[in-house]
């Protein structure tokens, strides 16, 4: 008979359970290691695009190097704790500045068999899934829907990212929810993610990055234009033996 084990229960407080819509939180939050992985994965993906190393996508002149934002991360974690897997945070924007948001959700009916299965896999279950949408993107214009996660990831003027994570039990479903907020937001209607051409930071008043050649260093400014939300849900159906 299989034993049901729950690993790393972060909180048993009533407020935490209520904030998750009555679901049971099994693990929440991100570590310093997670932050490093998330930021590096985003910058390496942006670097590949900037250098023209992504099939069927042009290189970028003005791709900003991303930095980590604790403010964006706090809002992302706050929204993750709501356990609203299929909707975006309507209150994530900061004044007139829009904040982009990518969400990925994975669930299974099988309980975690060890500690590691209860932990976040940012590259495998979220960031790589978003970036893989480049296969369906036509640079001639923003297409939304199936490619909006990718375009937000490689939006040139988006220069900050902050993310949150929660793992919870909803009935019989063990669910991981990944949330990343981006500032300033990308996916502006009628615009493309970046200026085509090989990296030319100085042409755009930017500084070349030493840590990620091909990327530029400067924080962009959002003008409050209209933006799209990006939500990506994929499901695993499993059985308990």
Convert the pLDDT of each residue in 201-217 to its tens digit: 999 999 999 999 999 99
How is residue 94 annotated by DSSP?
B
Distance in angstroms (rounded) separating the CA atoms of residues 227 and 191: 11
Per-residue pLDDT at 228: 42
DSSP string, 16-41: HHHHTTTPEEEEE---HHHHHHHHHH
CA-CA-CA-CA torsion sign (43, 46, 48, 54) = positive
Domain ranges of the chain: 14-233
Distance in angstroms (rounded) separating the CA atoms of residues 54 and 241: 42
Distance in angstroms (rounded) separating the CA atoms of residues 216 and 210: 9
Per-residue pLDDT at 170: 86
Q: What's the token pair of residue 71?
A: 């403010």
Residue numbers of the chain with a pLDDT score lower than 50: 1-18, 89-90, 96, 219-229, 231-241
- Strand 230-233 and strand 100-108: the pairing is parallel
Distance in angstroms (rounded) separating the CA atoms of residues 162 and 46: 16
Per-residue pLDDT at 91: 53
CA 131 to chain centre: 10
Distance in angstroms (rounded) separating the CA atoms of residues 178 and 77: 9
Per-residue pLDDT at 116: 86
- Strand 160-170 and strand 67-68: the pairing is parallel
CA-CA-CA-CA torsion sign (138, 144, 148, 151) = positive
Q: Does domain 14-233 have CATH number 2.40.160.40?
A: no
CA 78 to chain centre: 14
Per-residue pLDDT at 140: 76
Distance in angstroms (rounded) separating the CA atoms of residues 148 and 194: 14
Per-residue pLDDT at 231: 46
Q: In angstroms, how far is the first alpha carbon of the chain from the final one?
A: 9
Distance in angstroms (rounded) separating the CA atoms of residues 131 and 133: 5
Q: What's the token pair of residue 145?
A: 């829907």
How is residue 213 annotated by DSSP?
T
């Amino acid at each position: 008979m299989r034993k049901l084990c729950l690993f790393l229960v972060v909180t048993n407080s009533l407020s935490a359970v209520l904030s998750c819509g009555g679901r049971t939180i099994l693990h929440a939050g991100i570590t310093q290691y997670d932050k490093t992985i998330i930021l590096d994965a985003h910058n390496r993906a942006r670097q590949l695009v900037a250098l023209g190393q992504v099939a069927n996508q042009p290189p970028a002149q003005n791709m900003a190097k991303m930095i980590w934002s604790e403010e964006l991360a706090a809002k992302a974690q706050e929204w993750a704790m709501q356990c609203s897997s299929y909707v975006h945070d309507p209150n994530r924007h900061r004044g007139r500045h829009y904040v982009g948001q990518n969400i990925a959700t994975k669930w299974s009916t099988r309980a975690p068999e060890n500690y590691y299965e209860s932990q976040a896999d940012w590259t495998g279950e979220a960031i790589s899934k978003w970036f893989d949408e480049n296969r369906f993107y036509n640079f001639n214009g923003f297409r939304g829907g199936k490619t909006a996660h990718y375009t937000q990831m490689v939006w040139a003027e988006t220069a900050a990212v902050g993310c949150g994570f929660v793992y919870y039990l909803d009935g019989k479903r063990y669910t991981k929810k990944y949330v990343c907020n981006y500032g300033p937001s990308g996916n502006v209607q009628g615009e493309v993610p970046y200026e085509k051409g090989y990296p030319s930071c100085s042409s755009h008043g930017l500084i070349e990055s030493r840590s990620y050649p091909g990327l530029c260093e400067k924080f962009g400014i959002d003008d409050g234009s209209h933006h799209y939300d990006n939500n990506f849900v994929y499901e695993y159906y499993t059985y308990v033996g």
